[in-house]
Amino acid sequence: MVTTSTQARPAATDLTAPGRRSRGSGPWSLPEVRWAAGALVLFVLGGIAHLAGAPAPVYWALYLACYAVGGWEPAWAGVQALREKTLDVDLLMVVAAVGAAAIGQVFDGALLVVIFATSGALEAFATRRTEDAVRGLTDLAPEQATLLAGDGSERPVAAADLEVGDRVLVRPGERVPADGRVVDGASEVDQASITGEPLPVDKTSGDEVFAGTANGTGVLAVEVDRPARDSVVARIAALVEEASATKARTQLFIEKVEQRYSVGVVLATLLIFAIPLLAGDDLEGALLRAMTFMIVASPCAVVLATMPPLLSAIANASRHGVLVKSAVVMERLGTATVVALDKTGTLTAGTPTVVAVRPLLGGPCSEADLLALAAAAEGPSEHPVGQAIVAAARDRGMELPPARDFRAQVGRGITATVANRTVTVGAPGSAVHSGDAAITAMVEEEQAAGRTAVVVGLDDRSVGVLALADRVRPESAAAVRALREASGAEPVLLTGDNPRAAAALAATVSVTDVRAGLLPQDKVTAVRGLQAGGHRVLLVGDGVNDAPALAAADTGVAMGGIGSDLALASADAVIVRDDLSALPAVLRLSHRARRLVVQNLVIAATVIAVLVTWDLVGDLPLPLGVAGHEGSTILVALNGLRLLRRAEWTGARRG
């Protein structure tokens, strides 16, 4: 028989949140970020010198330094692409920048370099964050385990070396080292990181436990039934990586367009230079026409036509507590056709709260007396239920008498002496006189409503019931209605919690499609099922258990206040203030940004087509070409910046 050990050691290292170690490496550790920042600084200095009337060699030197600092990486990438017999926009932009400098338009070239260097830095930073967060999953499962030998002896081993059939000892406060089943002992296990359940789950012989979950106050002997590489927590990491790779393949179409566009512009520029030269035109005239074509045909205006509306929407959303990680995500948010929601920590606050105090009718306790007695007895408790009861009493301003002779029994509850009377607070099946018909009826009513019921006993009789539940966020019901309107489809609830609790929550917030009891891989399956049905899925979640589904969804949104590091890294957007009502506003802002992008692309494409045609069939003066190109760029940029206005967010909130 496993007994509680007085040598239980704290597992401070094991309790470190996933990904915590990776935060020491900030964006400045990435060379792409440093090069982009250097190019931007040189570009700004060059612009200031240019506007201030400094000698031409001064601002030319600054602009050319910007070329070197920000352009060497895309230039090298272009050279590497040429070695593989491909041509991409990176090289095209470098050639366009050099061509612009060759005909005296060094400012245009430097601007292209800065834009491309910055986009490369953002991509590198996003990639680093995701990789670090996935690696941080190893913090969930402990590196060491206590192996139980056949003769009863104990020895430490690496958790990765555990094999199916091994038995390990899990002391209070430690994390379970491997997936398995309890063969001896009893304890409560916090498995929120895997299932999302807000309360610890009692575990006894025969119950399944997962690697990385936190043991409570008891001691467990666990028989390993999966190797470390196949544990649920390991599969979470694999699923995140797999889903991220799948999502990256959607960029193949863009790469094909980029290749064809690059080849087309380069060939056209060479022809525009060579044909007039062969026809007898002078070298300077042919070069001027070709470089003018290179400038007016460059996608700089198209890039700026797309980015300002999306970046303005991102900035506006961030001011109101929603962090959207990229312009691509902002655009994709508006395409969602169904919204899937996690329960614990998303629609609810993620912590248990006393929602009902029910003294026995005709019993010795009033409602206030019942809560005060239970809270006083639970005072020394470290269990979340006990802490919630104490918090409820303090919120009501109650003065709690001291308790003595406190005893906790795993899976049953606690006993303490309060005002010289014995008070018990425990599970319905183990409470004193739990067979009382009135008490049984109250317990069944609360459990039918999806709540956790505990029975309070005074001396030798039960005197009442306390009901606890994960508190629904006040904005959840309105947010669900708004998301239904924004997406045009019924929201879906995906949760690891039990069906009864899920159904009770769904009824409160008016969700009709409920899928409960889901493990992380089940949530991924549900998301992919919706996608197979033709939906573009937006998933909202907060925990490690939500991370694979967040990565698999077309768009993932994490709750930032209580969200795990991996969920935040896997998600495409983060609700920083945990205000779910901000999400429908962001969806509407995305719709508005997408409309402005279309407007801007039409303007930019029209101007480029007109200028290119003029250069090909007429004689487009270089100053007019530059003015038209830059003028259209400024026009579409200003059009996109309209989304920075506070009124845009206010309008989005109203719907």
Distance of CA 295 to the CA centre of its chain: 40
Give the chain's count of helices (H) and strands (E): 21, 22
Distance of CA 624 to the CA centre of its chain: 47
Distances (CA, A) of 265 to 74, 76, 84, 271, 456: 17, 20, 19, 10, 79
Looking from the CA of 97 toward its CB, the CA atoms found within 13 Å total 28
Maximal C-alpha separation, the chain: 112
- Pair 33, 129: CB distance under 8 Å: no
Distance (Å, whole) CA 441 – CA 435: 10
Distance (Å, whole) CA 476 – CA 343: 10
- Pair 82, 91: CB distance under 8 Å: yes
Catalytic residue numbers, as ranges: 342
Beta bridge partners of 142: none
How much of the chain is in helix, strand and coil states, percent to nearest 5?
55, 15, 25
Compute the Cα dihedral for 30, 35, 36, 37 and give only its sign.
positive
Distance (Å, whole) CA 609 – CA 457: 83
Residues written for the chain: 655
Rounded to the nearest 5°, which phi and psi values hold at 205? -55, 130
Distance (Å, whole) CA 318 – CA 521: 31
The tokens for 464 are 């009442």
Placement of tokens 């007994």 in the chain: 3
Placement of tokens 């606050």 in the chain: 349
Distance (Å, whole) CA 329 – CA 350: 27
Placement of tokens 């930019």 in the chain: 604
Distance (Å, whole) CA 548 – CA 524: 6
∠ at Cα 347 (345, 350), nearest 5°?
25
Three-class DSSP category at 417: strand
Distance of CA 252 to the CA centre of its chain: 24
Q: Going by DSSP bridges, is the β-strand pair 555-559/573-575 parallel, antiparallel, or unpaired?
A: parallel
Distance (Å, whole) CA 477 – CA 472: 9
Three-class DSSP category at 37: helix
Environment class of residue 297 by beta-carbon count within 10 Å: exposed (0-12), middle (13-18) or buried (19+)? buried
Q: Going by DSSP bridges, is the β-strand pair 573-575/322-324 parallel, antiparallel, or unpaired?
A: antiparallel
Compute the Cα dihedral for 193, 199, 201, 202 and give only its sign.
positive
Environment class of residue 599 by beta-carbon count within 10 Å: exposed (0-12), middle (13-18) or buried (19+)? middle
- Pair 567, 560: CB distance under 8 Å: no
Name, in order, each residue with C-beta under 8 angstroms of 326's C-beta and a sequence gap of 6 or more: 122, 126, 572
Nearest to 313 by CA among 301, 299, 323, 303: 323
Nearest to 142 by CA among 161, 123, 127: 161
Distance (Å, whole) CA 550 – CA 540: 7
